[in-house]
Chain A
Amino acid sequence: RKEVEQDPGPFNVPEGATVAFNCTYSNSASQSFFWYRQDCRKEPKLLMSVYSSGNEDGRFTAQLNRASQYISLLIRDSKLSDSATYLCVVNKNNDMRFGAGTRLTVKP
């Protein structure tokens, strides 16, 4: 089993849609969690950290369920500029592991 697994995608949605990505991790001792965004042929960049209480940043909401070892990212009111690959990242003692990523395309 992979350490971090994500929805395979791709997701193709119209502008204004709400889209949700899911991620599961296998190591119950994992300490921190992140969502990164990667544009084509570029390096990944931090989108947001994920906290146990859930956190929101504008149109983006991240949730963590430690009991189920599950992380989610919700994007509301999708914009064309949201088109990218979204990577789930799990950390334990500085050992950072990435999911394979979910590709999102937002269409006009």
Chain B
Amino acid sequence: DGGITQSPKYLFRKEGQNVTLSCEQNLNHDAMYWYRQDPGQGLRLIYYSQIVNDFQKGDIAEGYSVSREKKESFPLTVTSAQKNPTAFYLCASKGGRTSESTDTQYFGPGTRLTVL
């Protein structure tokens, strides 16, 4: 089945540790995204990538890093510089060229990160 996978579903880390969240898609989508969602709030864009080896900062990129070495994979590292890392992290992908504006975005099931 085609889709987006994120692992693990729940992740616990000690304060001061870097942690990398996995996101893989087999939809052959060019664009991939990372969002953060805090309780009772909407999604805030951390980073997105439109093509392999390229990515752009979103609204809240500080304390995070990403890589896009393969089309299928867009891992997110939450570094110790991120002051409030506990949140629900959602990865998404989107197909089509930028001019194909009706292409929709599909989400993975998310990873709940808790920093103790």
Residue ranges of A at the interface with B (Cβ–Cβ < 8 Å): 6, 31-32, 34, 41-46, 49, 87, 89, 91, 93-101
Shortest CB–CB separation between residue A97 and chain B, in angstroms?
7
Query: How far is the CB of A62 from the nearest CB of chain B, in Å?
Result: 13
Q: What secondary structure prevails in chain A residues at the interface with B?
A: strand
Residue in A closest to B35 when the chains form the complex, CB atoms = A98
Whether A101 contacts B42 by the Cβ 8 Å rule is yes
Collect the chain A residues with CB atoms within 8 Å of residue B48's CB.
94-96
In the bound complex, residues from chain B placing their C-beta under 8 Å from that of A49 are: 102, 104
Task: Please judge, given known A-B contacts A96-B94, A98-B42, whether A32 and B102 are in contact too, CB under 8 Å.
Answer: yes
Please classify the interface of chain B as helix (H, G, I), strand (E, B), loop, or mixed, using the class held by over half of its residues: strand
- Choose among A31, A46, A93 the residue that contacts B104 (Cβ–Cβ < 8 A): A46
Quick check: is B98 within 8 A (CB to CB) of the other chain?
A: yes
Q: When the two chains form the complex, which single residue of B31, B90, B102 contacts A43, counting CB atoms closer than 8 Å?
A: B90
B interface residues, how many (CB within 8 angstroms): 25
CA distance A95 to B94 in the complex (A): 10
Of B14-22, B66-74, B105-113, the stretch lying at the interface with chain A is B105-113
Q: Is B53 an interface residue (CB 8 A)?
A: no
Q: Answer whether A93 and B98 are a contact pair too, CB < 8 Å, given A43-B108, A43-B109.
A: yes
Q: Are B42 and A87 in contact (CB under 8 A)?
A: yes
CB distance from B27 to the nearest CB of A (A): 14
- Using A46-B105, A95-B56, A98-B43 as known contacts, list a sample of 18 further A-B pairs with CB atoms less than 8 Å apart, ordered by residue number in A: A31-B101, A32-B101, A42-B110, A43-B90, A43-B107, A43-B110, A44-B43, A49-B102, A91-B101, A94-B31, A94-B50, A94-B94, A95-B45, A96-B33, A96-B45, A98-B35, A99-B42, A101-B41
Q: Give the residue among A49, A94, A97, A101 with the most B Cβ atoms within 10 A.
A: A94
Question: Quick one: CB contact mask for B42-55 with A, threshold 8 Å, 1 for yes?
Answer: 11110010100000
Instruction: State A96–B93 Cα separation when bound (angstroms).
Output: 10
Pick the contact of A100: B33, B41, B109 (CB < 8 A).
B41
Q: State the CA gap A101–B21 with chains docked (Å).
A: 25
